[in-house]
Amino acid sequence: MSANASELESLAQEVETATALLAQSKAGIAKRIIGQDTVVEQTLVALLCGGHALLVGAPGLAKTRLVDTLGTVFGLHTNRVQFTPDLMPADILGSEVLESSEDGARSFRFLKGPVFSQLLMADEINRASPRTQSALLQAMQERQVTIAGQEYDLPAPFHVLATQNPIEQEGTYPLPEAQLDRFLLQIDVDFPSRETERDILLATTGATEETAMQVFTPETLMAAQAAVRRMPVGDAVVEAILDLVRAARPEDETAPDFVRESVSWGPGPRAAQALMLATRARALVQGRLAPSVDDVVALAYPVLIHRMALGFAARARGEKLSELIRRLTERAISTEAAA
């Protein structure tokens, strides 16, 4: 057996193992999170990529419940921080305290903050001041924090699932573009359908509630993350990603007129990297060995929506970024099909 064939067989076995665990995970999550299949799938994609996700939705849509359930299913040490205007960076990262020993000697000891977890829920992240928001930048990108000149590594794996309320914006601090770019996906959590809401009422207001069981361990999750990065990607998928991301930049020569007229700034290379990883992870979630162009279509919105902005004139005309991304996706796919 050749080296390539042996490696492919090994990858196939890893994918099969991860797929079986993911099937159990989804069944466990579905007991507590009813009718949010797309939200659950995209959150699993973010975790399998080793990335962070921004959950955007009105209060009461089970965002906190989802994060808590994921922590249980994946066996991750989970912390939650409620972001408020008076929250300070030390409240997240930790701080040094001066202690005295029995012999009278004094020394500083570092007390770790809630960021030292494997799954951190940053609840209503846009309600904290920019100073506090920026405390997460190094943690999210480099998986470490610096306190008083000393670097501290965060646990592995490390993920941030932040929530944001899109309704009430008074007293909030919009996340800067640099920090938004750290989130692999923006996951919109919508209101449930009538039938789904009926199921929610029956499942959550009785004497007992369903509970989720641990399926993964941190080690098996990291093994699945490594397998995602080894999954092959066909040329058609790569070209579709490039066509989509580059056409979303108004200064690019391949950008269509509606992008040049409406978009203020477009996605950078990190968007293409995110889409490349996310398509692989979605294939794994669905039990496939390699991603397809359909995965690019499904993930274009959560990858691009927070990495683009409409210009003032486009907003005044009532244009929607979601509709623009849909048109861009259709254009990129049709271009790839014609090639």
Residues composing the chain: 339
Q: List the helix and strand counts (H, then E) for the chain.
A: 14, 11
**Per the structure, how many domains does the chain have?**
1
Mean pLDDT estimate for the chain:
90
Is 236 a domain residue? Answer: yes
Residue 99 pLDDT greater than 90, yes or no: no
From CA 288, how far away is CA 104, in angstroms rounded?
Answer: 63
Packing angle between helix 3-32 and helix 37-48, nearest 10 degrees?
A: 140
Is 242 a domain residue? Answer: yes
What are the tens digits of pLDDT across the range 276-332?
999 999 999 999 989 999 999 999 999 999 999 999 999 999 999 999 999 999 887
pLDDT at residue 1, as a whole number: 44
Is 332 a domain residue? Answer: yes
Phi first, then psi, for residue 53 (nearest 5°) are -135, 145
From CA 248, how far away is CA 176, in angstroms rounded?
Answer: 19
Residue 273 pLDDT greater than 60, yes or no: yes
Is 16 a domain residue? Answer: no
Neighbour tally for 293: CB within 10 Å: 18
Is 174 a domain residue? Answer: no
Full domain range(s) for residue 307: 232-339
Which of 121, 11, 119 minimizes the C-alpha distance to 63?
121
Is 217 a domain residue? Answer: no
Is 49 a domain residue? Answer: no
